[in-house]
Amino acid sequence: MSDAAINAEQAFSGTRVPEGADVLDAAKLEAWMAANVEGFAGPIEVLKFAGGQSNPTYRINAASGSYVLRRKPFGPLLPSAHAVDREYKVIAGLHPTGFPVARPYGLCTDDSVIGSWFYVMAMVEGRTIWDGSMPGASPESRRAHYDAMVDTLAALHKVDVEAAGLSDFGKPGNYFGRQVDRWTKQYKLSETELMPEMERLIAWLPATLPEQTRTSVVHGDYRIDNMIYAPAEPRVLAVLDWELSTLGDPLADFTYLALAWVTENGGRSGVMDLDRKALGIPELEEAVERYCAATGRDSVPDMNWYFAYNFFRLAGIMQGIKKRVIDGTASSAHAKAMSERVAPLAERAWGFAVKAGAE
C-alpha cells in the first residue's frame, strides 16, 4: 500500500471521541432515539467518524446495536447546502426498492435535540476502499469490484423514480443548466480570490450545455470510497453520502465516476497513472460498455464537456470548504489540504473544456 493510501485510510477511517463543537448532547439524543428509532435500547456511546468534509458523521453504539448519525454542520451555511433532510428522503425512498443503502431510522428537524437537523440510519459493517489501486487484491478481485461499482450505478439509474416516491426529488429536465447555475452561485458566495479559469468556465459551460435525454436519481458523488463492500466478496452493501443527490441526468454520475480514469492515483480513487492491465482494473472503454449494456444505451457522448463540468463542480465544492476553513467552521482536519485544490481543479476543468472545443 502506498504512503498516500495509508495516509488516506488513516485520515478518513476510524472514529474518535468528539471534542469541542463536535460534542452532542447524549442524553437528549438518547431520548430522541428511544422515541423515534424502532427497536432502540440505550445507553449510548457517541463517536465521530474521521472522514467526511461536509456533514459531520457519528457512530452511535447502543445496547441495541450501532447506528450512524449525520447532522448539518453548526455555523452559517450556504443556501441549499448540507440538506440532511434530502439525504434522508432519498435513502428512505431507495431502501424499500432493494437498492443497497443503509436502513433509515428517522429524521429530526428539531434543532433543540443536538443543535442542528440530523438523521439516523443503520450502521453497515463492511469494507471501504480508499485507494483505487486496491493494494493487496488479486487482478480478478479488482475487476470484480470495479464491475460491481459500475453495475450498482446502473441499478441506481434504473430505479423507478415514481415507485420510490421520489418524483418530487428534483425538477425535470435541464439538469446541467441548473447545476452549472447552482455551482456558479455557490462558488461566487464563497469566492476568496479571482481565478481566470473559473471565470472562463462560468461563461463557457452554460453556453455549451449537452442535451439531456434521460432522467433518474443521481447520486452526485459516486466513487469507489463512497460505498461499503461486503467483508469478503465484491458486492456493494451500501452506497453512502447522498448529500448531492437529486433527479437529473444519469450521465452526470457516470462521467463523474469516469474521472477516476483521468485522475492520478495519489492513494485515492484515481487510476490514470496505474498499470491497469497488470492490476486487472478495467479500461474506461470497458466500463462504458458495461454501463451502456446495463442501461440500454448505444454509447455515451464525448466526455470532455462532462469532465470539464465535473472538475468545475469539484472546484466549486472545494471553494466552499476553503471559505469554511478561512471562517473557522470547516468540519474536518483534512479540510485545509482539500481547500488548496481549488486552483488545480479549475485548471483541469479548463483543460477539458479546451478539448471539448472551448477557445
The residue among 321 and 85 whose pLDDT is bigger is 85
Start-end of H helices in the chain: 3-12, 26-36, 84-94, 139-157, 175-189, 196-207, 250-258, 276-279, 284-295, 304-327, 335-339, 342-355
Main-chain dihedrals φ then ψ at residue 127, nearest 5 degrees:
-115, 135
**CATH code of 112's domain:** 3.30.200.20
281 and 177: one domain?
yes
Closest alpha carbon to 245 in 194, 192, 179: 179
269 and 328: one domain?
yes
What number is the average pLDDT over the span 304-328? 91
In a domain, 272, yes or no: yes
Residue 92 has pLDDT above 70, yes or no: yes
The residue among 10 and 319 whose pLDDT is bigger is 319
Cα–Cα distance for residue pair 320/271, rounded to 1 Å: 26
In a domain, 296, yes or no: yes
230 and 309: one domain?
yes
93 and 57: one domain?
yes
Helix (H) or strand (E) holding 322: helix 304-327
Residue indicated by cell numbers 443543535: 115
Evaluate whether 65 touches 123 at the Cβ level (below 8 Å).
yes
pLDDT value of residue 1: 46
Cα–Cα distance for residue pair 71/21, rounded to 1 Å: 13
pLDDT tens digits, 162-205: 999 999 999 989 999 999 999 999 999 999 889 999 999 999 99
Residue 230 has pLDDT above 60, yes or no: yes
pLDDT band at 2 (very low <50, low <70, confident <90, very high): very low
52 and 99: one domain?
yes
- Coil/strand/helix, residue 228: strand
188 and 227: one domain?
yes
The residue among 333 and 353 whose pLDDT is bigger is 353
What is the DSSP track for 70-90? EEPPSS---TT-S-HHHHHHH
What number is the average pLDDT over the span 102-112? 96
61 and 175: one domain?
no
In a domain, 98, yes or no: yes
Give 359's contacts (C-beta < 8 A, 6+ positions apart). Answer: none
210 and 343: one domain?
yes
The three grid cell numbers given for residue 134, joined into one nine-digit string:
486496491
b/e map 331-351, b = 16+ CB within 10 Å: bbebbeebbebbeebbebbbb
Domain boundary among 91, 122, 153: 122
Strand partners, 251: none
In a domain, 133, yes or no: no
Estimate the crossing angle of helix 250-258 against helix 304-327, to 10 degrees.
80
Domain boundary among 122, 155, 178: 122
Identify the weakest region by mean pLDDT among 78-87, 95-104, 339-348. 78-87
Cα–Cα distance for residue pair 52/277, rounded to 1 Å: 31
Cα–Cα distance for residue pair 43/314, rounded to 1 Å: 40
In a domain, 253, yes or no: yes
What is the DSSP track for 111-124? TTTTSS-EEEEEPP
In a domain, 129, yes or no: no
In a domain, 130, yes or no: no
Structural domain including 91 reads 3-122
Domain boundary among 122, 156, 188: 122
In a domain, 173, yes or no: yes
106 and 190: one domain?
no
Cα–Cα distance for residue pair 338/67, rounded to 1 Å: 28
Question: In the chain, count of helices (H) and strands (E)?
Answer: 12, 10
Portion of the chain with pLDDT greater than 90, in percent: 79
pLDDT band at 324 (very low <50, low <70, confident <90, very high): confident
What number is the average pLDDT over the span 24-48? 97
Distances in Å between the Cα of 72 and the Cα atoms of 87, 106, 339 are 11, 15, 20
Evaluate whether 88 touches 79 at the Cβ level (below 8 Å).
no
Residue 83 has pLDDT above 50, yes or no: yes
Give 329's contacts (C-beta < 8 A, 6+ positions apart). Answer: 73, 74, 75, 76
pLDDT value of residue 180: 97
Number of domains in the chain: 2
State the virtual CA torsion across 268, 134, 157, 176 in degrees, nearest 10.
20
Residue 355 has pLDDT above 70, yes or no: yes
What number is the average pLDDT over the span 239-260? 96
**CATH code of 165's domain:** 3.90.1200.10
Closest alpha carbon to 189 in 77, 93, 279, 330: 77
Average pLDDT, the chain: 92
The model's pTM is: 0.90
pLDDT band at 323 (very low <50, low <70, confident <90, very high): confident
Per the document, the length of the chain is 359
pLDDT tens digits, 41-81: 999 999 998 865 568 899 999 999 999 999 988 766 655 55
